Structure 1
Amino acid sequence: MRRASSIWWRPKAGHNGPGLRHLLAAIAALLFIGTSQAMAQEEDLPEQVRFLVLYSSSSTLYANIAIQEGISSALTQADARSRFEVYGEHRDLQRFPGAEEDRHFIHKVTRKYSDDTLDAVLTVGPKALSLAITHQDRFAPGLPIVFGGVDSEDLRGFDLPPNAYGVFGSFDLVGTLELARALQPDATRVAIFTGSAAFDQSWKASAEQQLAGLAELDVTHLSDLTLEEFRDAAAALDRDTIAIVLTIFRDAAGRLFTPVEAAVTLAEVSGTPVYGVYDTYVGCGLVGGHFSTFQSLGTALTETALQLVDDPTNVSQTIEVPASSVLD
């Protein structure tokens, strides 16, 4: 096939000719139109909103997965005129404790995000909040911090800056015990299970304080045992006892678990119904409990961050996520 000529517009020697002038004018017009359309499209692009979420624990923790679902749900229902990017970083405290690991984590976060245009930092758990407050100037100076997954006991050691906004869920031991007593009115004892990790031990201390004045039931705290010993203790219980699992991240042998894995293991062999203080336990063999859901916590964190982006003058410093009794 003969190739079409590419020089049909070439003028005669000595002058430019109308063909070239017309072609150049056409090209200029097309370039102008294309540039104008690109600028218009750029002006029509929705606003870009970016959140960084710092998690204290691992990405595979069921609670964090549920919180991520809540974040996604909130963004799906948010203003369609905005585009959202959410970055997540997991400190994985249970598997990698220590100050040196904190430094590695902050170095990574700083390297990845110090040059990004973020709109807010969200934190889940006490460790993530502590790191965000201490090192925010390195990766997100001046931005609002929206934190969740902590309680009033956790906050005693914090000096919260004015740009910190708390979203508080309820993981209610006393409410869970009241639910269990309604289902087991003849019970005379309660057994509380906690592991050996720092977080487990903080739960144990809180449980001892909350149940210290309980006169109607004999309270036994089962802690610092191996998983096999936990199972034996659960199997030895009868229906005269209410069993409540708080968290077991680590057993006395140093083995690591997700709290759901450990709770399910105990529920499988327990001689009495087992209750828990987290919604992630429900549907895995535990009876139920009284708590806020992790998904609702994630939704509330995100909705608060979106409000801060929209109008920071009209956002409460403290947001409560409702709790309810849930049975499987």
Structure 2
Amino acid sequence: MTPERSNRGTRADGFGPDLPHGRWRAIWLAWRGVAICLVLMGAVAPARAETARRHVLVLFENNRLLPANVLGDRGITSALGEVDRSTEISTEFLDYPRFSGAAYVGTITRFLREKYAVRPPGVIIVAGDTALDFVLNTRAELFPQVPVVHVGVASSFLASRPPLPEDVVGVPFAQDFAGTIAQALKWHPQAKHLVLITGAAERDREWEQDLRRAAGGFEGRVSIEMLAGRPMAEVLKRVAELGPDTVVATPGFFRDGAVSIYLPADSVRLIAQAATAPVYGPFVTFIGTGVVGGWMTSFEAMGREGGAIANRLLDGQAASSLRLPQVMPSALYVDWRQIERWGIDPDAVPADAVIQFRAPGFWQTYRKEAMAVALAFLLQSLLLTALLLERDRRRLAQSSVDRHRFELAHASRLAVAGELTGSIAHEINQPLAAILSNAAAAEMMLDRGTARPGELKEILADIRRDDLRASEVIRRLRALLAKHEVVRQPVDLNDILGDVIALLNAEARRRRIALSARPVGETITVVGDRIQLQQVLINLIMNAMDALADTPEEQRNIVLSLEGSATDATIRVRDRGHGITAEHLPKLFDSFFTTKRKGIGLGLSIARTLVEAHGGTITAESAPGEGATFTIQLPRVAPGGSAWVGRS
């Protein structure tokens, strides 16, 4: 019997027995898991170290409500976030001077040590003299190797202490009490008294010493009164009694003589409200509390400087290698409302002063709106100027057109007069011949001695009538030919038709044409120039006469008719000529268009121009073989309408 084959065998590489497939897979997976964990731990460790390195602890000496702390914290946070937004910022407040003493210091030290034992900061930023003092005294117990950046520490405080360790750095600020007092006396040259106010806390006493040193330089200039460590009620009573020859300088205080706790800005606000003299102070947070101003350093700028230094330390730069300014810059801050309140000359405020609460002027408030209005006004002015220039140009052009039109109309009248020369001569010769005959008859009667008075009167009456007839012909001709003022006044169209018929009757008879008018029984009044309206009708009638030249004599008739409605007056001129072709009708009133062999094509164009100048219209209708009809429509007015004068 063949023995049974065992499941165990040797490995293919010959270094040992082959493991069952499932067991080997389990071991392999276990080792792979261990390897992955090691890799992950190696990757996480630097990340944790990096996170720890970007942790900043900010320690303020006062409480979180102090305005200076609010501004300083804003500057620190802004500077740290500019480099790395992932920087972790922890903020603590010592709440000095409300709490102090060795027991309190020990409690705070243990609290901070235990709180940040697992998560220590990479840099500590201390804000204020007391916070720096606290860290220097407890550093060995807290974070001995962590660099420290100080912010808002007075240069006088640092000068009173031993040199700082190499890894404790920062830029101090100078409390310029002397500069603030000098500025106050400059703005109030009448001042003879200087009142200095401080409190009873330890910091208040330090400020008192600073104030005394600063005021010492003005002892010959003003008398000095120090209100230090007094109860607030006493301080307020005293400042309410001050005269106009006094100025007040104060850094505020944390605690008064009655052991009441204040924020410096709050204490200054109470003092400024009660004071009958201008109050000056050294801190930016005082602006808006009632102080006039002073030489100050921005707490936000201090915070930004401290945050920038912390960024460099977090990036690995050694504190000892930093090159920092000796002191933070200061500027003159003023409350413009107090400048006005105390009658300070605005011109005395330096141009580089930081001015707050000044009501913006019109330009600052409404600059965009004012610029928009100014631009719109400028555009409107330019547009208006352009329109005025265009109006003047059009007036000149219209005047030129009117002048040429009137000259052309006058030339047209002269041309018509030339055509009427024969008939006009005949019209004048007839009365002159009659006058001559009557004069000869009267002379013969006188020579014979047979003249009777009655007969002589009849002869003289005939002479007078013929003379008036000749004079009327000459008058109408002169009126037609002369250049005259265009007088648009109410005229009766019945009279105009009668004048035209009288003027052209002789020419019509000469051409063997029947010329007639159909007036109406009522007065039809339009506002117009009599001569120009006559010229229009004469042009139309002369054209009609020309159109009848080749027609049989019995068809040669021209009829003028007049109609009136409530708003319009209508004159029609009809002839029985050959008519006008449909092809020529649309161009009939165009300049220089004519169907006559000797015409120049201006008569109807001038007629249309004159009619339109009177606010009317002129149209032509025709049917071949039935003659043509020209219709003039003019606006009708009541008798006595308005008049207008021009030149023709």
Q: Fold match, TM over 0.5? A: yes
**Which residue of structure 2 lines up, in the alignment, with residue 219 of structure 1?**
224
Identical columns (%):
27
**Which residue of structure 2 lines up, in the alignment, with residue 235 of structure 1?**
240
* Structure 1: unaligned runs, 5 residues or longer: 1-15
Deviations 1:294-325 (A, max 9, x none): 11111111111111222226413665211000
CA contact (8 A) 1:191 1:220 kept: yes
Write out aligned runs for 1:144-183 (5 A): 144-155=147-158, 156-183=160-187
Q: 1:180 to 1:125 in 2, by over 3 A?
A: same
* Structure 2: unaligned runs, 5 residues or longer: 1-20, 336-648
Per the TM alignment, residue 166 of structure 1 is displaced from its structure 2 partner at its CA by: 2.7
**Which residue of structure 1 lines up, in the alignment, with residue 214 of structure 2?**
210
Deviations 1:192-239 (A, max 9, x none): 110111111111112112222322121111112111111111111122
Per the TM alignment, residue 165 of structure 1 is displaced from its structure 2 partner at its CA by: 0.5
**Which residue of structure 2 lines up, in the alignment, with residue 129 of structure 1?**
132
CA contact (8 A) 1:114 1:140 kept: no
Aligned-partner residue type, residue 320 of structure 1: V
Deviations 1:279-300 (A, max 9, x none): 0000122111101011111111
Instruction: Give the whole-Å Cα distance in 2 for the aligned partners of 1:168 and 1:157.
Output: 13
Instruction: Compare 227-236 and 35-44 and name the one that shifted more.
Output: 35-44
Per the TM alignment, residue 274 of structure 1 is displaced from its structure 2 partner at its CA by: 1.0
Q: 1:184 to 1:46 in 2, by over 3 A?
A: farther
Instruction: Give the whole-Å Cα distance in 1 for the aligned partners of 2:105 and 2:267.
Output: 27
**Which residue of structure 2 lines up, in the alignment, with residue 61 of structure 1?**
66
Q: 1:164 to 1:170 in 2, by over 3 A?
A: same
Report whether the alignment pairs 1:88 with 2:91: yes
Report whether the alignment pairs 1:289 with 2:294: yes
Per the TM alignment, residue 134 of structure 1 is displaced from its structure 2 partner at its CA by: 2.1
Give the TM-score taking structure 1 as reference length.
0.82
Give the TM-score taking structure 2 as reference length.
0.43
**Larger RCO: 1 or 2 (CA < 8 Å, sep 6+):** 1
Report whether the alignment pairs 1:50 with 2:50: no
CA contact (8 A) 2:123 2:147 kept: yes
Q: 1:201 to 1:47 in 2, by over 3 A?
A: same
Write out aligned runs for 1:104-115 (5 A): 104-115=107-118
Q: 1:245 to 1:186 in 2, by over 3 A?
A: same
**Which residue of structure 1 lines up, in the alignment, with residue 145 of structure 2?**
142
State the superposition RMSD in angstroms.
Answer: 3.0
Give the number of aligned pairs. Answer: 303
Instruction: Give the whole-Å Cα distance in 2 for the aligned partners of 1:216 and 1:104.
Output: 50
**Which residue of structure 2 lines up, in the alignment, with residue 8 of structure 1?**
none
Whose helix fraction is larger, Structure 1's or Structure 2's?
2
Per the TM alignment, residue 87 of structure 1 is displaced from its structure 2 partner at its CA by: 1.1
Instruction: Give the whole-Å Cα distance in 2 for the aligned partners of 1:247 and 1:166.
Output: 25
Per the TM alignment, residue 127 of structure 1 is displaced from its structure 2 partner at its CA by: 2.0
SS at the partner of 2:90? strand
| 1:193 alignment partner, one of 190, 197, 203 | 197
SS at the partner of 2:242? coil
Deviations 1:150-181 (A, max 9, x none): 22432323452121103212321111112212
Instruction: Give the whole-Å Cα distance in 1 for the aligned partners of 2:216 and 2:291.
Output: 25
**Which residue of structure 2 lines up, in the alignment, with residue 323 of structure 1?**
330
CA contact (8 A) 2:155 2:173 kept: no
Aligned-partner residue type, residue 151 of structure 2: G
Deviations 1:76-103 (A, max 9, x none): 32245xx211111211121112111111
Instruction: Give the whole-Å Cα distance in 2 for the aligned partners of 1:309 and 1:262.
Output: 39
Aligned-partner residue type, residue 201 of structure 1: R
Instruction: Give the whole-Å Cα distance in 2 for the aligned partners of 1:279 and 1:248.
Output: 15
**Which residue of structure 1 lines up, in the alignment, with residue 256 of structure 2?**
251
Aligned-partner residue type, residue 229 of structure 2: D
Aligned-partner residue type, residue 147 of structure 2: P
SS at the partner of 1:77? helix
Higher Cα Rg, which structure: 2
**Which residue of structure 1 lines up, in the alignment, with residue 75 of structure 2?**
70
Aligned-partner residue type, residue 326 of structure 1: Y
